[in-house]
């Protein structure tokens, strides 16, 4: 197919599916002439089978033409940058996207996110075809169905691309979460963001934030809320206030934040941001196993391999006050018997991963207790995946994993295939890091049939992820750990009584000082 035919088909396909208006057709075609250094288009009609063509396949053909014309090198970085630049031509301006989004939001928040999500899919900002390459499966446990995905969506850079990026550093945009990415062309060291759009919103405290989708989503409508200010993450009372504020605007989404310390922080700590989406996780359906009351709010310990306190109430302010108590008490909590230590000198170790969602008219706040301390036995983290599971998952455990979804590294695709072959008796060797595990599986199951092997391997990987979550739990699931967790919850429940008692003691103390005060300054005081 000639480049003229591809341009004609691409633009008419975008017109056909509503991404382009008739009045803009010639303009966009001329912009494509500019991009491809062409003077004119051949006089050709759209292909007869246009209705059956996919606009992203046509985009790929345009990128192939760019390679053939020596406009770009044939690598993932250059194709990404040029692809985003082309799709920008059929994407409304940020002001137009924002205007339509908030017009729809007045009718229904769901209508607004549906529009923005479809826009982000249509213009290839959300890499749907790459995401479809991920390997996904679930694993049934006593804590619900855990989800696992082997992440194959992000293209790997060549050594040449890596070297070029290293030799041409740039401080703009500040980071991948900065609002400066909106419309940024990109380069070999930075993804193309020409087609990126950001929804602006103002929180109750007057702060400006942005809302976008994740280009490489791990779950349905995986999205990000980011501060328009460039500042590091600080997780505390204001975080919960902000999360509940956002949830008020997007009640059909969950909204959560990573913890604010290294190791347990999960993702980028250099920029204040939250993650959100329209997905039900295993943690969401986990039942309560120990109930108490905190600041007049229904509270409970959740049946989950990590240590989770759930707060539930229709009143955002009451929830915020209750959450603040948990933050305050956990910040200073230590239990040497359980290896929980709040500080080393002045270095803090305790943190919280806060997660929020709606349940009917109630707001739900799940506070996941975290600790990032290390020692000689566990240099990667005491409450981090331990060495015996790191052949499957050694990366930090962020909010996505906390919720019950494992994001596993791409190396596992090939490595697990070797384990399958080993269990089928087709090979006697696997990757060194999996050898002991593979041998234990063969001892447990023997030689498996082709019909059995996939289910066994997936189930055993699921068990490894379950152990990862248990490793990350600060109050272990044994008798000692659960007794300590309940004692911590009971202390939380007594917080209000202790606070009132403290105020009472202060009043008594002041009354005892009254004679001294009276002698110093006789009544009446001026």
pLDDT of residue 94: 98
Q: What is the per-residue pLDDT for 347?
A: 96
pLDDT, residue 524, reads 45
Regarding beta strands 405-408 and 144-150, do their DSSP bridges make them parallel or antiparallel, or are they unpaired? Answer: parallel
| Other C-beta atoms lying within 10 Å of the C-beta of residue 387 | 12
Residue recorded with tokens 């053939």: 68
Long-range contact set of residues 426-430: C-beta below 8 Å, sequence gap at least 24 = none
Task: Kindly report the backbone phi and psi dihedral angles of residue 69, in degrees, each rounded to the nearest multiple of 5, phi listed first.
Answer: -85, 5
Identify the pLDDT of residue 519.
54
Confidence (pLDDT) at 4: 97
Listed in sequence order, the residues at least 6 apart from 321 whose beta carbon sits closer than 8 Å to its beta carbon are: 295, 297
- In eight-state DSSP terms, residue 167 is H
Question: How many CB atoms are located within 10 Å of the residue 405 CB?
Answer: 21
SS (H, E, C) 228-249: CCCCCCCCCHHHHHHHHHHHHH
Q: Return the structure tokens found at 520.
A: 């110093």
Cα–Cα distance for residue pair 147/403, rounded to 1 Å: 9
Q: CB–CB of 293/497 below 8 Å?
A: no
**Rounded distance, CA 259 to CA 232, Å?**
12
Residue 234 tokens, joined: 């600080």
Q: Which helix (H) or strand (E) holds 395?
A: none
Q: State residue 500's pLDDT score.
A: 53
Prediction pTM value: 0.92
Q: Tell me, what DSSP letter sits at residue 190?
A: B
**Largest CA-CA distance found in the chain, in angstroms, rounded:** 103
Q: Give the contacts of 198 (CB within 8 A, at least 6 positions apart).
A: 94, 179, 181, 182, 210, 211, 212
From CA 465, how far away is CA 386, in angstroms rounded?
Answer: 11
Are residues 307 and 368 in contact, defined by beta-carbon separation less than 8 angstroms?
A: yes
What Rg do the C-alpha atoms of the chain give, in angstroms? 28
Q: Where are the beta strands (DSSP E) in 323-373?
A: 343-344, 347-348, 350-359, 362-371
What are the residue ranges of helices labelled H in 298-353? Answer: 316-331
* Residues forming a β-bridge with 355: 256, 366
Confidence (pLDDT) at 515: 55
Tell me how far apart the alpha carbons of residues 52 and 141 are, in angstroms, rounded to a whole number: 43
What ranges do the domains of the chain cover?
A: 3-157, 218-383+473-499
**β-bridge partners, 298:** 293, 312
Q: Partners of 137 in the beta sheet?
A: 148
What's residue 526's pLDDT? 38
Residues pairing with 347 in the sheet: 344
Residue 310 has phi, psi (to 5 degrees) of -105, 130
| Number of CB atoms found within 10 A of residue 86's CB | 25
3-state helix, strand, coil in the chain (%, to 5): 45, 15, 40
Give CA–CA dist 250/113, Å, rounded.
Answer: 9
Tokens of 165: 């990026």
Residues 440-449: contacts with CB under 8 Å, at least 24 apart: 447/423, 448/423, 448/424, 449/424
**Both tokens of residue 387?**
């060495």
**Which residue, chain included where needed, has tokens 């405290």?**
205
Q: Per residue of the chain (526 residues), what is the pLDDT tens digit? A: 899 999 999 999 999 999 999 999 999 999 999 999 999 999 999 999 999 999 999 999 999 999 999 999 999 999 999 999 999 999 999 999 999 999 999 999 999 999 999 999 999 999 999 999 999 999 999 999 999 999 999 877 777 877 787 777 888 999 999 999 999 999 988 999 999 999 999 999 999 999 999 999 999 999 999 999 999 999 999 999 999 999 999 999 999 999 999 999 866 789 999 999 999 999 999 999 999 999 999 999 999 999 999 999 999 999 999 999 999 999 999 999 999 999 999 999 999 999 999 999 999 999 999 999 999 999 999 999 999 999 999 999 999 999 999 999 999 999 999 999 999 999 988 999 999 999 999 999 999 999 999 999 999 999 999 999 999 999 999 999 999 999 999 999 997 655 554 445 544 454 555 455 455 444 443 3
DSSP labels for 266-310? -S--SS-EEEEES---HHHHPPEEEEEEETTEEEEEESSSS-EEE
Those residues with Cβ within 8 angstroms of residue 136's Cβ, 6 or more apart along the chain or in another chain: 147, 148, 149, 150
Would you state the pLDDT for residue 24? 97
Q: How far apart are CA 286 and CA 344, in angstroms?
A: 34
């Amino acid at each position: 197919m000639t480049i003229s035919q591809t341009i004609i088909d691409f633009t008419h396909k975008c017109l056909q599916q509503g991404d382009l208006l008739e009045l803009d057709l010639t303009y966009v075609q001329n912009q494509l002439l500019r991009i491809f250094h062409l003077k004119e288009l051949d006089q050709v009609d759209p292909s007869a089978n246009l209705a059956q063509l996919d606009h992203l396949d046509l985009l790929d053909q345009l990128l192939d033409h760019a390679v053939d014309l020596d406009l770009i090198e044939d690598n993932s970085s250059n194709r990404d940058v040029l692809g985003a630049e082309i799709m920008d031509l059929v994407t409304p301006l940020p002001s137009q996207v924002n205007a339509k989004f908030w017009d729809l939001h007045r009718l229904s928040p769901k209508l607004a996110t549906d529009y923005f999500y479809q826009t982000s899919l249509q213009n290839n900002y959300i890499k749907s075809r790459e995401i479809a390459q991920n390997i996904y499966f679930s694993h049934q446990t006593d804590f619900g169905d855990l989800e696992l995905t082997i992440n194959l969506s992000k293209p790997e850079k060549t050594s040449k691309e890596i070297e070029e990026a290293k030799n041409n550093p740039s401080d703009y945009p500040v980071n991948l979460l900065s609002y400066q990415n909106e419309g940024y062309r990109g380069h070999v060291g930075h993804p193309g963001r020409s087609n990126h759009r950001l929804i602006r919103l103002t929180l109750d405290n007057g702060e400006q934030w942005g809302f976008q989708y994740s280009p490489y989503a791990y779950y349905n409508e995986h999205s990000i809320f980011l501060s328009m200010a460039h500042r590091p993450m600080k997780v505390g009372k204001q975080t919960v206030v902000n999360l509940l504020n956002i949830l008020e605007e997007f009640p059909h989404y969950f909204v959560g934040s990573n913890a604010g310390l290294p190791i347990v922080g999960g993702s980028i700590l250099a920029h204040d941001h939250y993650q959100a989406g329209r997905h039900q996780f295993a943690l969401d359906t986990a039942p309560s196993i120990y109930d108490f009351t905190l600041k007049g709010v229904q509270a409970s310990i959740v049946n989950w391999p990590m240590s989770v306190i759930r707060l539930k109430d229709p009143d955002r302010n009451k929830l915020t006050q209750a959450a603040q108590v948990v933050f305050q008490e956990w910040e200073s909590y230590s239990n040497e018997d359980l290896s929980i230590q709040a500080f080393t000198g002045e270095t803090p170790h305790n943190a919280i991963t806060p997660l929020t969602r709606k349940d009917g008219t109630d707001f739900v706040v799940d506070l996941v207790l975290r600790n990032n301390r290390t020692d000689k036995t566990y240099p990667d983290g005491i409450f981090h995946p331990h060495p015996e599971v790191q052949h499957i998952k050694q990366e930090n455990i962020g909010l996505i994993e906390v919720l019950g979804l494992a994001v596993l590294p791409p190396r596992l695709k090939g490595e697990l295939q070797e384990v399958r072959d080993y269990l089928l008796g087709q090979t006697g060797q696997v990757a060194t890091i999996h050898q002991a595990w593979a041998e234990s599986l063969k001892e447990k199951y023997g030689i498996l049939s082709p019909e059995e092997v996939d289910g066994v391997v997936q189930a055993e990987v699921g068990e490894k992820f379950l152990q990862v979550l248990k490793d990350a739990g600060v109050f272990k699931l044994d008798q000692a750990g659960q007794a300590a967790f309940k004692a911590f919850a009971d202390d939380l429940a007594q917080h209000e009584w202790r606070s009132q008692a403290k105020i009472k003691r202060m009043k008594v103390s002041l009354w005892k000082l009254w004679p001294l005060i009276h002698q110093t300054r006789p009544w009446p005081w001026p």
